[in-house]
């Protein structure tokens, strides 16, 4: 859908509108496009004023000042005030969770068992989900999505671009992490297990011990649960462990060290209480959304945690997270914007949803910065991306300019 921009807005919006009409829809692959930006934040070096990004066959071909990067005559041209790398949501459930909040579009949680590492995110992902299109209209080009933190082991996660008509077209990593929850989110009532954090830890240890013996007998039957958990033990796949309370975060670190596995600490409301311990662990953090609601196990969260993690040199990124109410998602653009009011610089806040997010999900060789050779994923704005009145006027994914609806 292409929305006509209001007359009071800058002329470059009209140019972009014409470009979107000319270039077509998200399913069309564009070959050669030039994106002109009054300011370009590459996340790979200095900020560029009066800059140009050339894209060719879905990749970034050149980036620099207009004086140094000549636009070939046959390139289509798009202009915006501010250009940044396509935004990355480091942990989401959209595509499995849908905007209608009805049983038919809520595939993020399977409640029949607390231990389900075999559940593949790609088997439940809906590339045409309107929430995916909505966050794309705000500049999000990549999502790390999958099963929600609502069971001890809820399933697998995947990494997808926010385009495509089916899961195969959207997916860039079908198995990214295994979603684990230690804390209230996975605790059962009525005498069902796990009923406490200690039982969660014991059940997780038991699963890892069983997986360590998997495959040693040639005639043993295939076990999908243990097959996936063996990949964790072999460090092929990390655990994404959602833990908010300090005690649960430390349990996650303890288990990771005990079994010599890789984990990413997710949520981490109490992370500001454990800066030294998290730093010593060496594990990265996907921090709760900045504007997350405080209550229960998240009662101690702080809007200054991000700046403290940054000051300590702990790798971290932001996420939209898992919401149990309509519309099922937050927007990382807005979550990062609030960080600027709580001790972070503009560029450091932008890193949490671009290059730093790419590093944590293992995709920094392809996305996260405007770098020659990387995927041509860009977000274009008519002003400061973190200002409330700014609009995303265009999103490019894989070199394709995506028409957006001004909001």
> Tens digit of pLDDT for each residue in 25-44?
444 455 799 999 999 999 99
Could you identify the residue written with the tokens 């921090």? 287
Task: State the pLDDT at residue 6.
Answer: 34
Burial of 385 (0-12, 13-18, 19+ CB in 10 A): buried
Alpha helices in 60-196 (DSSP H): 130-136, 167-170
How high does pLDDT run on average in the chain? Answer: 91
Is the pLDDT confidence value at 14 over 50? no
- pLDDT band per the 50, 70, 90 thresholds, residue 18: very low
Summarize pLDDT for 45-91 with one digit per residue, the tens: 999 999 999 999 999 999 999 999 999 999 999 999 999 999 999 99
Task: State the pLDDT at residue 37.
Answer: 98
Task: State the pLDDT at residue 216.
Answer: 86
Which domains are delineated in the chain?
11-85+370-402 (2.30.40.10), 87-360 (3.20.20.140)
Contact 183, 297 (CB under 8 A): yes
Rounded-to-integer distance, Cα 145 and Cα 142, Å: 9
Is the pLDDT confidence value at 383 over 60? yes
The closest alpha carbon to 321, from 281, 279, 269, belongs to 269
Is the pLDDT confidence value at 16 over 50? no
Rounded-to-integer distance, Cα 154 and Cα 181, Å: 8
Task: State the pLDDT at residue 219.
Answer: 78
Task: State the pLDDT at residue 30.
Answer: 56
Task: State the pLDDT at residue 299.
Answer: 97
Is the pLDDT confidence value at 405 over 70? no
Q: If you average pLDDT over residues 219-244, what whole number do you get?
A: 96
Find residue 397's DSSP bridge partners: 400
Share of the chain above pLDDT 70, in %: 91
Task: State the pLDDT at residue 103.
Answer: 87
Of residues 308 and 325, which shows the higher confidence score? 308
Alpha helices in 145-290 (DSSP H): 167-170, 197-212, 224-233, 246-259, 275-281
Rounded-to-integer distance, Cα 165 and Cα 174, Å: 16
Q: If you average pLDDT over residues 186-203, what whole number do you get?
A: 96
The closest alpha carbon to 361, from 146, 192, 200, 214, belongs to 146
Q: What DSSP designation does 217 have? A: S
């Amino acid at each position: 859908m292409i929305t006509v921009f209001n007359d009071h807005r800058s002329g470059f919006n009209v140019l972009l509108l014409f470009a979107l009409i000319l270039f077509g829809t998200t399913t069309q692959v564009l070959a050669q496009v030039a994106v002109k930006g009054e300011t370009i934040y590459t996340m790979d070096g200095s900020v560029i004023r009066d800059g140009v990004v050339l894209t060719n066959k879905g990749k970034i071909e050149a980036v620099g000042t207009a004086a140094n990067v000549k636009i070939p005559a046959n390139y289509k041209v798009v202009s915006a005030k501010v250009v940044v790398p396509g935004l990355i949501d480091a942990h989401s459930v959209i595509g499995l969770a849908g905007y209608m909040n009805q049983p038919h579009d809520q595939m993020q949680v399977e409640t029949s068992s607390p231990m389900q590492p075999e559940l593949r995110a790609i088997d439940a992902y809906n590339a045409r989900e309107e929430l995916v299109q909505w966050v794309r209209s705000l500049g999000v080009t990549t999502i790390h999505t999958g099963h929600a933190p609502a069971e001890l082991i809820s399933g697998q996660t995947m990494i997808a671009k926010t385009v495509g008509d089916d899961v195969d077209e959207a997916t860039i990593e079908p198995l990214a992490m295994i979603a684990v929850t230690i804390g209230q989110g996975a605790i059962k009532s009525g005498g069902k297990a796990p009923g406490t954090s200690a039982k969660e830890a014991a059940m997780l240890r038991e699963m890892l011990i069983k997986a360590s013996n998997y495959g040693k007998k040639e005639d043993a039957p295939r076990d999908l649960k243990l097959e996936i958990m063996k990949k964790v033990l072999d460090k092929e796949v990390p655990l994404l462990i959602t833990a908010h309370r300090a005690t649960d975060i430390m349990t996650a670190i303890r288990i990771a060290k005990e079994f010599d596995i890789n984990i990413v600490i997710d949520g981490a409301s109490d992370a500001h209480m454990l800066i030294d311990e998290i730093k010593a662990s060496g594990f990265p953090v996907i921090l709760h959304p900045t504007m997350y609601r405080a209550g229960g196990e998240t009662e101690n969260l702080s809007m200054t945690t991000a700046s403290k993690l940054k000051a300590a040199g702990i790798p971290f990124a932001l996420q939209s997270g898992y919401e149990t109410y309509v519309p099922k998602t937050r927007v990382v653009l807005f979550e990062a914007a609030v960080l600027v009011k709580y001790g972070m610089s503009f560029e450091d806040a932008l890193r949490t949803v671009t290059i730093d997010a790419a590093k944590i999900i293992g995709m920094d060789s392809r996305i996260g910065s405007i770098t020659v050779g990387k995927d041509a994923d860009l977000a274009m704005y008519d002003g400061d991306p973190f200002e409330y009145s700014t609009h995303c006027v265009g999103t490019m994914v894989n070199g394709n300019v995506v028409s957006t609806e001004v909001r």
